[in-house]
Amino acid sequence: MVATPYGAVRGRMESGIAVFRGIPYAAPPFGPRRFRPPQPPEPWDGVRDAGAFGPTPPKPPYSEAFAKLLADPVVPGDDCLNLNVWTPEPGRGARLPVLVWLHGGALTRGSAAVPVYDGRTFARDGVVFVSVNYRLGVEGYGLFPDTPANPGLRDQLAALHWVHASIAAFGGDPNRVTLCGQSAGAISIGALLAAPQAQGLVRRAVLQSGPPEAFDRDKVRRMVRRMATRLKVPATAAAFAEVDRELLLRTQADVGRLSSPVLGGPSFGLVVDGDLVPRDPLEALVEGDVARGVDLMMGWTKDEYRLWLVPGGLLERVDRLGGIALAGAMARCHCGHDVPRGYRALHPGAGAAEIVGQLVTDHLLRIPLQRLADARADSSYVYEFGWPSNLPGLGSCHALELGFVFDTGDVPESRKLAGEGAPQELADEMHAAWVRFVVEGDPGWRHWDASHPVRMFGTDGPSIEHGPRDAEIALWAADAARPDEPPTATSPGARGTEIRSVVRRLRLPGSVRRH
């Protein structure tokens, strides 16, 4: 039993680890609190049972194609702003390092209840592990004129404040907090590192396959307006709060069916709000003084794009489109013709889908993360995950590294993406690196410098490569230095036309559209 600021909670001992699930860090975000910033939970009398995962935030299910690969359990209930704690040594005085996990899922799916994110292995190795649920989709990232923006990010900030105030009672040190996340979780971390209200709450951060970024406000606003049109209500938080929750989720899934990193389209994301996100987070971290002294570890998988293109046969469709798909990628990435030409020269055996996928991955992910590493070189460490899944076509895809980082390859949900026979020695290496970074601030390889050292986690054992992506990234730098090309590749209208043309020609099956 542990006391929190709002009441006592009773956990469970599981294989020598004390586990507390479903602890509220904020009040249920419904009724008068819907679409509003989080509020503190109501204190409770007696002892609250913390033996089971709490409710998960409202979210649409994955499409059939993606559900075969990604687990996303649903726990019903309104009290969805909750977190979980795994600790080897509950009680004040232990002062152990703390890892706070923010899950991915494109800010529309995912939860802290995914079995791959079991914190037992980190607690086994002397780390107090905390995983957080936060609002998703329109509930967490809808942009309305009558409520503050980014309520989902505000949830995460509230959870961080809870950790700072409460984690000592669970054996953690509030001054040794590492914030770690993948995909949308990593994007959120970038914004939190740059947020004025979060300064001093984080000692270290791990960004896996997600860069600091802010979405264009019009892009997010279009999602809300399209939903409002379908629902026949005003595009306001007050009107959306009156809509049945399940209908809202179905409408969100339908309107966002073409949203993906490759295809673009309107989607939910963090926006600059002049308050919690006062400016673009990447620019704030690269150019400003925020989060100085925070150690950073960041990286990506070799074939991120394959999770976005392989399910439902989209990769084969892109290959068949060839030059049309490449034109769409140029429009998506705002680059000139020399960039895809350079990629073809560097990868002469690659098909159109691989070129498109790597173009988009570099533009959206690797280049921003390398910019951040360049700006924070003395305290940054970079990795690349390159082990290919045992499932056909997935390669080293987005999210595949998670079962290795958590050392949870033994759970069925990890095998959904990795297949059978994932190498335990690779999990030992990756998990040990993450633990070492949380404990010491040094994952075990040289920090970033002019030689661009990257720790490669793959099939050939431990290795360091210097500048493995430098040739591709140099193409973008050269492209940016050229005079603007004709508007066919760069103007907003042309970009929209190119992307819509590719989407029409892809004839996406329903299973992929709904993802």
Catalytic residues: 183, 304, 398
Cβ atoms of 28 and 34 within 8 Å: the answer is no
Q: In this structure, how many other beta carbons lie within 10 angstroms of the beta carbon of residue 480?
A: 11
Are 306 and 354 in contact by the 8 Å Cβ rule? The answer is: no
Contact 149, 118 (CB under 8 A): no
Beta strands in 5-127 (DSSP E): 7-10, 12-14, 17-24, 47-49, 82-87, 96-102
Q: How far apart are the first and last CA of the chain?
A: 41
Instruction: Give the Cα separation of 62 and 72 in Å (integer).
Output: 8
Nearest to residue 180, comparing CAs of 120, 93, 112, 115?
112
121 residue type, one letter: T
Q: Are 372 and 282 in contact (CB under 8 A)?
A: yes
State how far the Cα of 430 lies from the Cα of 102, in Å rounded to an integer: 18
How many beta carbons lie within 10 A of that of residue 404, not counting itself? 24
Q: Coil, strand, or helix at residue 304?
A: coil
Pairing mode, strands 380-385 and 295-301: parallel
H-helix or E-strand containing 466? Answer: strand 463-466
In sequence order, what E strands does 120-257 have? 128-132, 172-182, 204-208
Within 10 angstroms of residue 507's Cβ, the number of other Cβ atoms is: 7
Q: Which two tokens stand for residue 157?
A: 């900030």
Distance CA 374, CA 304 (A): 22
Longest dimension (CA), the chain: 69
- Taking the C-alpha atoms of residue 316 and residue 354, their distance in angstroms, rounded to an integer, is 10
> What does DSSP assign to residue 379?
G
| CB-based contacts of 361, cutoff 8 Å, min separation 6 | 261, 300, 304, 305
Q: Which residues pair with 7 in a beta bridge?
A: 4
Angle formed by the axes of helices 338-346 and 352-361, nearest 10°: 110
